[in-house]
Amino acid sequence: MDLLDTLTAKGLRRELPTREEALAVLATTDDELLDVVAAAGRVRRQWFGRRVKLNYLVNLKSGLCPEDCSYCSQRLGSKAEILKYTWLKPAEAAEAAAAGLAGGAKRVCLVASGRGPTDRDIDRVADTITAIKDANEAVEVCACLGLLSDNQAERLKAAGADAYNHNLNTSEATYGGITSTHTYADRVDTVNKAHGAGLSACSGLIAGMGESDEDLVDVVFALRELDSDSVPVNFLIPFEGTPLAKEWNLTPQRCLRILAMVRFVCPDVEVRIAGGREVHLRSMQPLGLHIANSIFLGDYLTSEGQAGQADLDMIADAGFEVEGAGQVTLPRHRSDAAAGGCGTSGGGCGTSGGGGCGPCGSHESADGSHESACGSDESACGSEESATAAPDEVRSELVKVRRRGAGTELAPNA
């Protein structure tokens, strides 16, 4: 059985691949790319069918951050000409969220720059969650406010938050070279606080910061160990005026290999194509939908995305469907675990064991059919030859600073 057959079989059984197998995915050649996408696609369809979950960002407070994260346009010392404003009022945030929900989004992500929230900030966000859910009771709300202090996750949960996002971003070994004002351990602690409070943990990475293949595998394995329910995969947006403005290390092909590696390591979690997909995947974005089951609709925090209607057209043209408010995103074994059916934070059904909790070891697909975990039709892969694609050319014109939506007088993109 070759590499892709092995990885497909493991993904259908929710078994963790070896580090060597994960690295081998990143080392495949462009000639093998469609085979890699097809294999990852089988795993994606097993657990999520052809559904695409839409998420919508609301930037509650833009810029003015005291942290020095090198990748971020809102960082301390950033010269990026982004929007800067302080906290939106709850009614303003709810109005911004309504635009995304009208466009088909199922989850609203409330984001605020800064090291972490004060208790007063938690009150602000609680009022915002109430305003959003009063208008749309079924909406999922994810908060992303930085490092959490004791009891803040519990307060967000009590206020109606469904999830908390805090990305690990890169490997522990390289984290100190990206940020000096907080540590990798601080980030892990916040994800564990969110999980411990009963919030769905959302944590992901940023690719394209000059990291090695080993770094990418390290951070994805760490996310698997944290048992994140959703893993956003960001591709660095090299903003002029930030330390990483010249880091154009990604090609569309490499982005797809990274997404596939994440899917194989995290087969049954929500894998989201997050910031940078328009900049780096470009015309190959539809292929990403065969691997990931979630995207952001419209604009990002400080940069503009493609038109919301273009996102919807892309999903339909690729043969996928937008996930509805009444549909459960996660497979049954994970959604049951999140509701207290099995597993605990940090372990549960998403661990590498692959069984032990009812349907966790079955091969029932998202549409109710059954698919064999072996005998894949995909072509052979696993070549020892590393991919030779050159780094992406500098395309600064693709980085468009957000000038509409929250914090402006212009209508949002949704």
Q: Catalytic residue positions?
A: 65, 69, 72, 109, 142, 202, 272
Cβ 204 vs Cβ 216: under 8 Å = no
Residue 363: how many other CB atoms lie within 10 Å:
15
3-class DSSP assignment, residue 322: strand
Strands (E), 70-139: 107-112
213-226 and 184-196 helices, crossing angle to 10°: 30
Q: To which H or E segment does residue 289 belong?
A: helix 285-289
Residue pair 303/399 in contact by the 8 Å Cβ criterion: yes
CB 356 within 8 A of CB 2: no
Residue 193 sits at the vertex; the CA angle it makes with 341 and 90, to the nearest 5 degrees, is 100
Q: Report the length, in residues, of the chain.
A: 414
Where does residue 86 rank: exposed (0-12), middle (13-18), buried (19+ CB within 10 A)? exposed
Contact 278, 383 (CB under 8 A): no
Supply 336's token pair.
């049951």
Q: In angstroms, rounded to a whole number, what is the distance separating the alpha carbons of residues 118 and 281?
A: 37
What distance lies between CA 54 and its chain's CA centroid? 11
Q: What is the DSSP string of 367-410?
A: TS-B--SS---SPP---SSPP-PPPPPP-GGG--B--SSTTSSS
Distance (Å, whole) CA 107 – CA 124: 19
DSSP, residue by residue, 93-115? HHHHHHHHHHTT-SEEEEEE-SS
